[in-house]
Amino acid sequence: MFGKLINLYYKLKYRRLDKRVVICKTAFIHHAGTFILDDNKDATIQIHDNVYVGRFCNIHTGSKVSIGANSVLSDYVYLSTLSHGLDPLKGPIMQQSSFDKGSIILGENVFLGFGVKVMPNIKLGDWCIVGAGSVVTKSFPEYSMIAGNPAKLIKKYDLNLNKWIGINEFNR
């Protein structure tokens, strides 16, 4: 079963909620967010400088979730490294032990649109932009714009032209 449950409320008074949850003082956590950490000592959540976490965000981990500086998680974003046991011979699903499937690492200046879901074992590089409602099932490099279910690369930022280039244009 899932371990410790930490509910976050509007304008946190404490920046270190637990030795395993570290939130930089310049981060803003909106109301009704939920952080769930598995009981193991390696489960950590790190929220770096100037991060904005929107309303009703859920972050669940049994390993590590790290959100880089200046990143934005819009409302209803879901990040989870945990999975339920699904063995029919071991009883009801909610009575089975959860297990971790790998860390989630978000680089700096990452933007996750409304309702984005990020699955386990994902790394998004700096300046990744994820469209609303997307489900991220694999990692993407820096300067990627992704969208869909599952999320796919739709644009890359061209540092020479200083603009986002559609994939069809980028491959010309």
Q: How is the chain split into domains, by residue range?
A: 4-170
pLDDT digits (tens, 9 = 90+) for 46-88: 999 999 999 999 999 999 999 999 999 999 999 999 998 899 9
pLDDT in tens, 18-28: 678 888 889 99
Q: What is the CATH number of domain 4-170?
A: 2.160.10.10
Please count the other Cβ atoms lying within 10 Å of the Cβ belonging to residue 26.
Answer: 13
Q: Model pTM greater than 0.85? A: yes
Tell me if residue 170 falls in helix, strand or coil.
helix
Which residues in 9-161 belong to E strands, given as ranges? 21-23, 28-29, 33-37, 44-47, 52-53, 58-61, 64-67, 72-73, 78-80, 82-83, 99-100, 104-106, 111-112, 117-118, 122-124, 129-130, 135-136, 144-148, 151-158
pLDDT tens-digit readout, 97-123? 888 999 999 999 999 999 999 999 999
